[in-house]
Chains A and B, each alone.
Chain A
């Protein structure tokens, strides 16, 4: 029989020493005890923290515990074994492409990186990785990704295609999320068509994973990389065929495959970033100014929240234009009731630009309620989680048109016309998400920094789980 260690390696849970432990488990004794716990598997599935703890504490664990853990974890990942997945998928790719040249679209995220590595394993030098700079990536990101992936062990020679102007021009004047996403998709594939033509490629590899096609097919949102699943034939429309090595996998399985492929932790555990980039975090109309402000806020929020190991965290920007229906006063009354506060302590604004949500398996392009508590109450209520959860649930339940609720962290009177929304969630597979309890003080510090920007007057924290929200905003 395999040793516990072998099983853990196969399952992709045997991590390097750099694995940082969260506060989930204090010591190796706790880990050993957890292994005996019948609900162990559901715990590790819900909590990457424990996996990291194993990374750090493993050397202190007796082999019997490791063996048991290995056994349970192999059960947990049954149906997905990175090594057998890899050999089957590479064989399929070789058969399919018959020694021809193939382009791979890389973004620097874990999905496209792992898809590219799987394809390279199969196709070797016939694989040509390219990265499209959409102008909607984070500051300095295209160059950093190109440089990082060129180094060992990935050693990918990526060609950068600069196309920032094209993407911004294509979404100019569009304010609704779906139209923006469709315009983005069209520009994205037109560029790939040019590149495929230039290289004489028949196939393009992309890092589509299960939630991408599930959400597009279900009409929740148009992912930029989904064509065939919604009835668009890329061969007739764009002249190339699409290969999606990871289409049946979820994010955690992709990461496990990445670890199996020896990706360094900073890449295999890299924070997800959506394909259309900041486009889907720039709510409503996209302007150069909004994108600029968002890039700055993104830096601040990522720096402030990265130590916490939330699965996803980011900033979004929205204009301070408000709707009158449903009446903010009525929503405010509901908020008071949920929080048990007098009317004088609570103020609600309903933002005019809509945000993507999902209610009862249906897309719901709804409104955002921004809740402001008086200074004193917000100090007390910052992270009274049950109360905030009630606040969010009540509002969404009573007002069908509202899908999101955010809490004001800090504002600057007389500031600019924009609000920044901060979001942080825990999620295993990006299909459901819980709001992360970011310490109130951290949120305040981040907001203070963000408010230094002239154009921003408010910073909110999104307190909506998925469902009824989605993880991103558009």
Chain B
């Protein structure tokens, strides 16, 4: 069985990610970001998903305890990783990108245009409706990453690492109103399975 813990950074939808993964047959539960990376390794997970949360990552040196812990996991854990909403922004800043207050914050339904499906957005193009809830956004993508989806208001709705299996999405694939949200989790599972084989 595939094991994917969800790192709980206090977002409302974190528990829904666990539910979705369970529905796809994955062994999953919420994990506080304060769990040391060694302990995570001893659980022998196949990947990590990081949820959203109410905090801001605008100033990387003034992160809340939870986000500081989550940033440490992002840097140290060498597993396939999917980061959602605030942890997508955290992923960007942890690798040298920039997050700022969004010029136009997005709440509720947003039309997402896929720039490059790749493996993670396979079958989601050319566009789909996703639900969002964010005041900040990634304005500068870190080196080694590529933006793979955008909306009218936000230029980095999704990004992926060029060589490693690390992905960030600004929207919430875990909420039922996001079209094809489950497909994104299914794609992530395929990536995780491939990673397991190599």
Contacts and interface: CB of A to CB of B under 8 A. Distances in A.
Interface stretch (B59-67, B112-120, B129-137): B129-137
A389 B129 CA distance: 13
A359 B109 contact: no
A210 B22 contact: no
Contact of A468 (B23, B107, B182): B107
Interface stretch (A39-47, A99-107, A169-177, A413-421): A39-47
Interface in B63-121: 85-86, 104-109
A389 B182 CA distance: 25
Interface stretch (A186-194, A213-221, A330-338, A367-375): A213-221
A288 to B, nearest CB: 35
B176 A429 contact: yes
Contacts of B181: 42
A158 interface: no
Interface string A218-229: 111000000000
A418 to B, nearest CB: 28
Interface stretch (B9-17, B33-41, B140-148): B9-17
Given A389-B109, A393-B108, A360 B15 contact: no
A80 B12 contact: no
Given A218-B12, A360-B133, A361-B54, A78 B24 contact: yes
A215 B183 contact: no
Interface in A142-192: none
B5 interface: no
B52 interface: yes
Contacts of A75: 23-25
B179 interface: yes
A410 B3 CA distance: 55
B104 A397 contact: yes
Contacts of B109: 389, 434, 465
Contacts of A80: 22-23
Contacts of B16: 250, 429, 431
Interface residues of B, number: 36
Nearest to B56: A360
B105 A465 contact: no
A214 B12 contact: yes
Given A359-B105, A393-B108, A397-B104, A215 B12 contact: yes
A77 interface: yes
Nearest to A218: B12
B53 A42 contact: no
B150 interface: no
A467 B86 contact: no
B36 to A, nearest CB: 23
B11 A361 contact: yes
Interface string A243-277: 00000001000000000000000000000000000
Contacts of A250: 16, 19
Contact of B108 (A215, A217, A465): A465
B13 to A, nearest CB: 6
Given A45-B176, A214-B12, A432-B177, A361 B108 contact: no
A396 interface: yes
Contacts of A45: 176, 182
Contacts of A358: 12, 133
A215 B52 CA distance: 14
B52 A78 contact: no
A361 B64 CA distance: 15
A210 B16 CA distance: 9
A42 B107 contact: no
B136 A210 contact: no
A79 B133 contact: no
Interface in A415-474: 427-429, 431-434, 464-468
15 contacts: A39-B180, A42-B180, A46-B177, A78-B22, A215-B12, A220-B12, A361-B10, A361-B11, A427-B176, A431-B175, A432-B172, A432-B175, A432-B177, A434-B109, A465-B177
Given A76-B23, A218-B54, 14 more contacts: A46-B176, A75-B24, A78-B23, A79-B23, A217-B10, A219-B54, A359-B133, A360-B54, A361-B10, A361-B53, A396-B107, A432-B175, A465-B107, A467-B133
- Nearest 3 interchain pairs by C-beta: A79-B22, A468-B107, A428-B176
Interface of A: 39, 41-42, 45-46, 75-80, 210, 214-215, 217-220, 250, 358-362, 389, 393, 396-397, 427-429, 431-434, 464-468
Interface of B: 10-13, 15-16, 19, 22-25, 52-54, 85-86, 104-109, 131, 133-136, 172, 175-177, 179-183
